[in-house]
Amino acid sequence: METNVNTVDYAKKKDQEDHLAKYRDEFYIGDKIYLDGNSLGLLSKRAEHTLMNVFNAWKEFGIDGWMKGDHPWFYMSEQLGEKMAPLVGASPSEVIVTGSTTINIHQLVATFYKPTKTRYKILADDATFPSDIYALKSQIQMKGYEPAEALVRVKSNAGLLDEKDIIDQMSDDIALIFLPSVLYRSGQILNMEKVTKGAHKRGILIGFDLCHSIGAIPHSLDAWDVDFAVWCNYKHINGGPGAVAGLYVNQKHFGQEPGLAGWFSSRKDVQFDMSHDLEADVNAGAYEIGTPHVLSMAPLLGSLELFNEVGIENIRKKSLELTDYFIELIDLNLKQYDFSIASPLEKDKRGAHILLEHVHAASICKALKSHQIIPDFRAPNFIRLGPVALYNSFYDIWKTVDTLKNIMKTEEYKKFNNTRDIIA
């Protein structure tokens, strides 16, 4: 039996033993090795099918598509919320597919951030995605405070956060906490249960951005008693560019007026009474705002069918095997070329991607792309490699590391400018 992990035969043997390998054929991959699923997932045939199904309903029914067809548009956000609930460990009524990540941050922070004279600060971190900070600063300003004083950011160390540091900064003047579940650069998983307990012990509401964890790791939002969460659906969920996002609100908060009310915040049974007095839905639907983007939700019907068929626990199991294999091959082949791994090595702290650091990261990414291997560059000098359990193989991992080794050995990367493209 082949036991040398550094050979192509070993990688191919692992693929033969992989119970999820058959799902690779569900996706449009072509001849490339696609390792950017943590930024934009690939199109699946099921997502294509449900998109065309909904598109044809528009063709056939016109406005009656709101209530007719296989997936009536009026209830599609709720239908998708029910399909997504198992991925976040929630009841169907607590999840809704709506808006975008940033819109949903604005909505839920506007709802739950209720500053007082003595408790008016929001606790975040300095390693989170910029959009989250933009939204938090905006909400603070709209409540009449200065972000420089009212936004507290826990400092990371080499792109990693310590849960103890987060809890230590939960002071009496903190009104709300908003953190990432998985850090977008390093791929570190925060211990959401531990941090949530720390917040509630101090009477603070807490929410999470699940953009880099949804569809990649299991969640237990209800069991952890998280107050709210938001996420996008175009990364691991493979919902397509600009796919409609999702949000979660713990049912203990049902009945609150949404911070940002709109047409679809209404109870469905009275929405078309056209009253100017909102009767907000008594579930996550209360936090919808405008008319749903039906054609941008349609691919999720097919994509989520895949997730519910495979199971998030099985996806996580293979994801860890892929990133473990990456780490092993990197250690064997790339350390001599001054690569370093900036992601946590511990399985319980590592999300679904590996972060490599190298001074020539941008040019190395361009060299990889010239070999039809698609990575993701992050400034100033990071390469994100995000294998997706549903469509990446162990051979993909072996071939990527082998190609990286040859790029460095031959100094092929020097042919490319070490600067990011407009979209990195």
Question: Is 302 within a domain?
Answer: yes
Confirm or deny that 86 is annotated as ligand binding. Answer: no
419 vs 108: CA distance, rounded Å: 37
Read off the CATH number of the domain in which 157 is found.
3.40.640.10
Counted domains in the chain:
2
Confirm or deny that 209 is annotated as ligand binding. Answer: yes
123 and 205 both lie in a single domain? yes
Is the distance from CB of 318 to CB of 391 less than 8 angstroms? Answer: no
Residue 20 belongs to what domain range?
8-31+311-415
The CA-CA-CA angle for residues 208, 210, 216, to 5°, reads 145
Question: Is 68 within a domain?
Answer: yes
Single pTM value for the model: 0.96
Tokens, residue 118: 């003595």
Question: Is 41 within a domain?
Answer: no
- The pLDDT of residue 1 is 42
212 and 297 both lie in a single domain? yes
Confirm or deny that 102 is annotated as ligand binding. Answer: yes
Q: Give the pLDDT of the chain (424 residues) as one tens digit per residue.
A: 447 999 999 999 999 999 999 999 999 999 999 999 999 999 999 999 999 999 999 999 999 999 999 999 999 999 999 999 999 999 999 999 999 999 999 999 999 999 999 999 999 999 999 999 999 999 999 999 999 999 999 999 999 999 999 999 999 999 999 999 999 999 999 999 999 999 999 999 999 999 999 999 999 999 999 999 999 999 999 999 999 999 999 999 999 999 999 999 999 999 999 999 999 999 999 999 999 999 999 999 999 999 999 999 999 999 999 999 999 999 999 999 999 999 999 999 999 999 999 999 999 999 999 999 999 999 999 999 999 999 999 999 999 999 999 999 999 999 999 998 888 7
Confirm or deny that 132 is annotated as ligand binding. Answer: yes
Domain boundary pick from 278, 309, 340:
309
Backbone angles phi, psi at 175, to 5 degrees: -95, -25
- Sign for the CA dihedral angle at 138, 164, 312, 187 comes to positive
Domain boundary pick from 309, 343, 368:
309
Domain boundary pick from 276, 309, 342:
309
Question: Is 198 within a domain?
Answer: yes
99 and 79 both lie in a single domain? yes
Is the distance from CB of 212 to CB of 181 less than 8 angstroms? Answer: yes
247 and 339 both lie in a single domain? no
326 and 303 both lie in a single domain? no
- The pLDDT of residue 54 is 97
280 and 411 both lie in a single domain? no
Question: Is 421 within a domain?
Answer: no
Confirm or deny that 125 is annotated as ligand binding. Answer: no
383 and 284 both lie in a single domain? no
Question: Is 40 within a domain?
Answer: no
277 and 368 both lie in a single domain? no
Question: Is 74 within a domain?
Answer: yes
148 and 296 both lie in a single domain? yes
251 and 397 both lie in a single domain? no
Read off the CATH number of the domain in which 393 is found.
3.90.1150.10
Tokens, residue 73: 């548009």
Confirm or deny that 234 is annotated as ligand binding. Answer: yes
183 and 89 both lie in a single domain? yes
Is the distance from CB of 95 to CB of 84 less than 8 angstroms? Answer: yes
200 and 172 both lie in a single domain? yes
> How far, in Å, are 133, 141, 227, 287 from residue 136 at the CA level?
5, 9, 17, 18
Question: Is 36 within a domain?
Answer: no
Confirm or deny that 101 is annotated as ligand binding. Answer: yes
Confirm or deny that 212 is annotated as ligand binding. Answer: yes
Confirm or deny that 225 is annotated as ligand binding. Answer: no
